[in-house]
Amino acid sequence: MASATSANLNAVRETMDVLLEISRLLNTGLDMESLSICVRLCEQGINPEALSAVIKELRKASESLKVQQQQHTKCHFK
Amino acid sequence: MYTLPQCACALSLFCFGRQTRGGNVSKLIKCISGMEDEEDQNFQLALKFTWSNFRFHRFLDVDSHKVERSISGIYEKLMVHSDLRKVWGITLAFLAHQTENDPLSKFTSTHVLSMLFSLSGSPSNNDFTERPRIKEAEAEDCFDWAKYLMEGEDIDNGLYPDTPVWSEDESEDDDSQRPISREDSGIQLDRTPPEDQDNTNKTVPVTWTVGEPGARAWLEQHVVTPYWVTHSPRFPHSLHLHSNLLNVWDQHLYNTDPLYLPEEKAFVTETQVIRETLWLFSGVKKHFIFQQHDGKVSVRNDVVVTHLTSNCLRSVLEYIAVYGQAVFRLQRFIDEVTGCSSEPCPPGSLSSHNSKKGSEPPFRTYQAFVWALNKYFTSFKEELTTIERELICNDETMTLSAVLERLGPHLSQIKVLHKVFCTGVADVPPATPNVVRASHLLNTLYKAIIEYDSVGEASEQAVALLFSLWTETVRPYLEIVDEWIVHGHLFDPAKEFIIQRNKDVPVNHRDFWYATYTLYSVSETVESEEKLNDSASGSSGGDQSSSSRQLTMVSFLKPVLKQIIMAGKSMQLLRNLHCTEAESSEKSSRDAERKDLYTLFLESVQSRLRSQETSPTNTVTDDQATRRSLIKMQSIVAQHLEMENVHDPLLAINFARLYLEQSDFQERFSGGDFIVDRSSQSVTCQTFELTLRSCLYPHIERRYIECCGNLMKTLKKDYKLLEYLQAMRNYFLLEAGDAMYDFYTAIFNKVQEKESWQQPSFLNVQLQEAVGQRYPEDSNRLSVFLENMDPSRKKHPVNNLEVLTLSYKVPWPVDIVISSECQKIYNQVFLLLLQIKWAKYSLDTLRFSGEKLQEAPAEDVKLKEPVHQQIHRMCLLRVKLMHFVNSLHNYIMTRILHSTGLEFQHQVQEAKDLDQLIKIHYRYLATIHDRCLLREKVSFVKEAIMKVLNLVLIFSDRWQAGFGAWKIESIDKMESDFKNCHMFLVTILNKAVCRGSFPHLESLALSLMAGFEQC
């Protein structure tokens, strides 16, 4: 029983490695953690295209937020 | 339309999922945006946004086909971009997607892949930056390369471990002071030919600096891995099976043979093997693959290439080494002869090079041979350099076998050369005199040409090569011959010519003609020198000796050797005759315009070729057209010439090809190789000899005729040769009858008067008086000597005359013809004639004294009858004797001396050279001697004649004594003696005449017989 679970675990790990390699080849910018989250969400039925659109938007937003924060701190120091 | 249970199920799922999803979504936001605080306003906004997007989106459900399509699309795109690593990854993904035992469900994996694809920008769109370069680029500013190169010290190997060549150099060259020893480390500019290796480091500027992008590439291209260093780094090579045959084979051996022990090996590439091969052929002495030990080239044992088994490589290399050794041997010979100078000069200017053996004169035949060899090697090296240049350019694939194929004709030529060299030069023992060496070499070449020529088509190149070699090598010989037959001066300081001058005989000596020159011949079987003195057989020594044993002097000169000797000797004699006359200035001016024999020979060969070239079809400039027209023209000319029967056009074309090797003809026949279908019959076998016959021999022949003609003319005209010959006949053969009559009758009278005549003063006075009146110019040349007689022969009165010796002083150069030996023969004939004349004279002068006849009957009547009988018998005997003596006299004076003399005069007029003249003269003398029965073999006939002559003298003596003194017995004895001798002679002569072997004796035999029958 235990060996079966460990075998399954290995298979999952392999699959995840392959997926990570593919994502790296495709320049998606996802790391292992975010990739596993994405996989879980996909398993849960979230539309993958929607998911990717959200990720892109979040990146964009966080990017602009960082810029704003930097400007703000600069102003503050001034 | 959903059914109710379905809806319920979905609802419950949704409610459960919402909780877990909520956790995942927050995690996702944290991951992507990096916000940690969930209470943050922005976080909440993001969460709301995410959820709304998840719930209310405009996207269709995932289509697995679409995903597969995009996978294959990306695969293709990456293939186009040759991004092989990515292709491999995508393939893997695809495979993973396809497999059934994926832990994720097919559904999920499709979703995940779809998500990844939509998330990715363009997979092939990335800027290429080469990662390993980054390190070097960082280092460029902080290192002073100039200083590094100048000092040559403190090399930090650790910093740049990825430049292996450099680190190798420095570890090796620690002892040398040079910063980078390019020569030794194997760094060399590839464009230089191998001979110039030494100069490489001077001439090649180092045009690169590290850090420039091209630098490393430059190094990799231009620097050869030092494969000759033990444990040198292995060069990179492909792992393909074909290029690893050695390993495979080794593995096989290792597996099958339990005792197999792999050895240490030095790996080289095929290119390196090719280059070493080329260097070996071009005469470089130090190699890695090939090793030389005292003249032997061997192949290194442990050299291997990766794509061949070591045995295979070895067999190829050993094949090369054989040729390499031949090249090496020939090269060494060239160096030896030229005195180790690297570049031999043409034969004319060679003397300056022989500083090493300055005392010895240069051996010109070898030098000429070396010059020809060197010419060949120059062209061979050009070919090698071309191949190497192509190899360096790397434009096309070159394999060892291709190179060998290309060098094939050259290699076979080298083989031929080496063979000729071995038999012609190397096998000759060191102490052999030059004349033997030279003639042996020339003979070897000559024989080789004929030998290869008989093979026909197969060895055309060899024949062409050998022919050019031969023409070069024969040059000194022809020059010597030329010098000799034109100037009469045998200039041969190295003693290499087959004929040599004997120094101790001056030209104006009477032995000059016979003893001046020595002809050397090399016996084929013994290979030792045979010295044939010319005097033995005159200048015909060559002919005579060749019949007895097979001699190979210099075979090509053999047919004209006699002419050369004759012309040479004649010329020298002529020169000496002329030196008194002032003709030299005129001669020297003519000499400047004259072409020497060698030039004439070459020109003749050229003109042989030109005979075909004059045809208008050959003037086409185009190379191809020339070749075509040549073949066409050849057939035309062939027909044309066949009718005229002039010469063979094939012959001419063959010689065109033979002479392609010569540079003069290169321009004319730029095509190089003519395709001429040669008939199978080997015309060329005679071709070579025909060339000589038509191109060389006529010049010598012409010169011979000219020289000898001049000599004969000079001798006859200026030196009165014919007059002297006539004088000999006049005095010795008594043709000057009146003068000689005075001389010998004076002697005979003295004898009859019983006075002593054997006084030199008396004889000489008589002779001078007799000759001086009629031939004043000869009177002081003639003299008479008296010799001491052999006492055993003194018993007969007729032998008394044999003490006389007539002598005629013949001046130089006529004494070459009329030698003292000749005079001896003349003298013998002279004595015989004198004896006959004496007998005839004593018979003729007998007189009947009338008183005695009348007194006798008065004294004694009884005796009257027998006295009358006696007188009658004496008279009869006298007439018989007179008949005999007159017959003999007539026979000798008219039948023998006169007619033979006429023949002789005729032959003398036609004699071409001095030798022939001498021979004619000798033959003439021999004939006279023979016909006057003076030969030893017929001495019994002479004895009989002498007996009769003696009888005549006794008879006349008795007659003089008066009738009273006669005794009947003595008359009887005289009659019987005469009868015996007469009968004997008649029998002998009749036998000889009947045999028909002596037709000239016929008249004598007839007249004697007539006299005999009447008695």
Phi, psi of B623 (to 5 degrees): -65, -50
Helix (H, G, I), strand (E, B) or coil at B212: strand
- Nearest chain B Cα distance for residue A35, angstroms: 9
Cβ burial B659-676 (10 Å sphere, 16+ → b, else e): bbbbeebeebbeeeebeb
- Predicted confidence (pLDDT) at residue B708 exceeds the cutoff of 60: yes
Interface of B with A in 506-525 (CB under 8 A): none
pLDDT in tens, B355-404: 344 456 778 888 888 888 888 889 899 999 999 888 888 778 888 888 88
Residues of A in contact with B54 (CB under 8 A): 46-47, 50-51, 54
Question: B19 and chain A: CB distance < 8 Å anywhere?
Answer: no
pLDDT of residue B511: 65
B254 to chain A, minimum CA–CA distance in Å? 40
Task: Please indicate whether residue B666 or residue B80 has the higher confidence score (pLDDT).
Answer: B80
Chain A partners within 8 Å of B123 (Cβ): 25-27
Question: Looking up tokens 């190179």, which residue turns up?
Answer: B403
User: CB–CB of A52 and B113 under 8 A?
Assistant: no
CB proximity B119 to A under 8 Å: yes
Pairing of strands B266-267, B303-304: parallel
pLDDT of residue B17: 55
Q: What's the one-letter identity of residue B408?
A: G
Give the C-alpha separation, B142 to A67, whole Å. 37
Task: For residue B52, give Cα distances in angstroms to A41, A50, B59, B111, B118.
Answer: 15, 10, 13, 20, 19
Whole-angstrom distance, CA of residue B834 vs CA of residue B823: 16
| Interface contact flag, A57 B115, Cβ < 8 Å | no
Which residue of A6, A16, A40, A42 to mutate against B (max B Cβ within 10 Å)?
A42
- Distances B595 to B474, B491, B607, B647 between C-alpha atoms, Å: 17, 18, 15, 26
Confidence class for position B634, pLDDT limits 50, 70, 90: low
Residue whose tokens read 């995508």: B90
Closest CA to B998 of B933, B948, B902: B933
Q: Is B84 on the interface with A (CB under 8 A)?
A: no
Mutate to test the interface with A, among B31, B51, B85, B122 (most CBs of A within 10 A): B31
Residue of A nearest to B92 (CA): A18
Sheet holding B529-533, edge to edge: B499-501, B517-522, B529-533
Token pair listed for B672: 């190089």
Contact A25 B89 (CB under 8 A): yes
How many contacts does A have with B, using Cβ atoms within 8 A?
141
Beta bridge mates, B352: none
Specify the amino acid at residue B338: T
pLDDT in tens, B183-192: 443 434 344 3
pLDDT at position B611, please? Answer: 54
Contact B304/B235 with Cβ under 8 angstroms? Answer: no
Q: Which helix (H) or strand (E) holds B291?
A: strand B290-293
Residue B228 dihedral angles phi and psi, to the nearest 5°: -80, -10
Distance of CA B867 to the CA centre of its chain: 94
Note the ipTM here. 0.88
- pTM for the predicted model, two decimal places: 0.55
Cα separation, B459 vs B453, whole angstroms: 7
pLDDT > 90 in chain B, percent: 0
Question: What pLDDT, on a 0 to 100 scale, did the predictor assign at position B183?
Answer: 40
d(CA B552, CA B558): 8
pLDDT band at B120 (very low <50, low <70, confident <90, very high): confident
Phi, psi of B353 (to 5 degrees): -80, -20
User: Are A41 and B24 within 8 A, CB to CB?
Assistant: yes
pLDDT score recorded for residue B682: 34
Closest CA of chain B from A1, distance in Å = 17
On whether the CB atoms of residues B418 and B330 are closer than 8 A, the answer is yes
- Tens digits of residue pLDDT in B163-204: 444 444 444 334 434 444 334 434 343 443 444 444 434 344
| Cis-peptide into B813, omega within 30 deg | yes
Which chain A residues touch B21 with a CB distance below 8 Å? 41, 44, 46
Contact across the interface for B32 and A62, Cβ inside 8 Å? yes
What are B392's two structure tokens? 């360096």
Q: What is the mean pLDDT of chain B?
A: 71
Q: Are B33 and A61 an interchain contact pair (Cβ–Cβ within 8 Å)?
A: yes
Q: What is the pLDDT, as a whole number, of residue B425?
A: 82
User: Can you read off the two tokens belonging to residue B966?
Assistant: 């006669």
Q: pLDDT digits over B292-335, tens only?
A: 887 788 888 888 888 888 888 889 889 988 898 888 888 888 88
B509 token code pair:
């000596």
- Asked whether residue B125 carries a pLDDT value surpassing 70, the answer given is no
* pLDDT at position B237 over 80: no
Contacts of B433 (CB under 8 A, 6+ apart): B495, B529
A34 and B29 within 8 Å at the Cβ level: the answer is: no
Q: What is the pLDDT of residues B827-845, one digit of tens each?
A: 888 888 888 888 888 888 8
d(CA B548, CA B564): 22
Among A38, A47, A57, the residue with its CB nearest the CB of B112 is A38
Lowest mean pLDDT among B412-416, B607-611, B753-757: B607-611
* pLDDT band with cut points at 50, 70 and 90 for residue B932: confident
Nearest to B921 by CA among B818, B810, B812: B818
Q: How many angstroms away from the CA of A16 is the closest CA of chain B?
A: 10
Q: Is B808 helix (H, G, I), strand (E, B) or coil?
A: strand
Nearest to A50 among B29, B35, B57 (CB): B57
Q: List, in order, residues 6 or more apart from B966 with CB less than 8 Å away.
A: B870, B874, B958
- The chain B residue lying nearest A9, using CA atoms, is B103
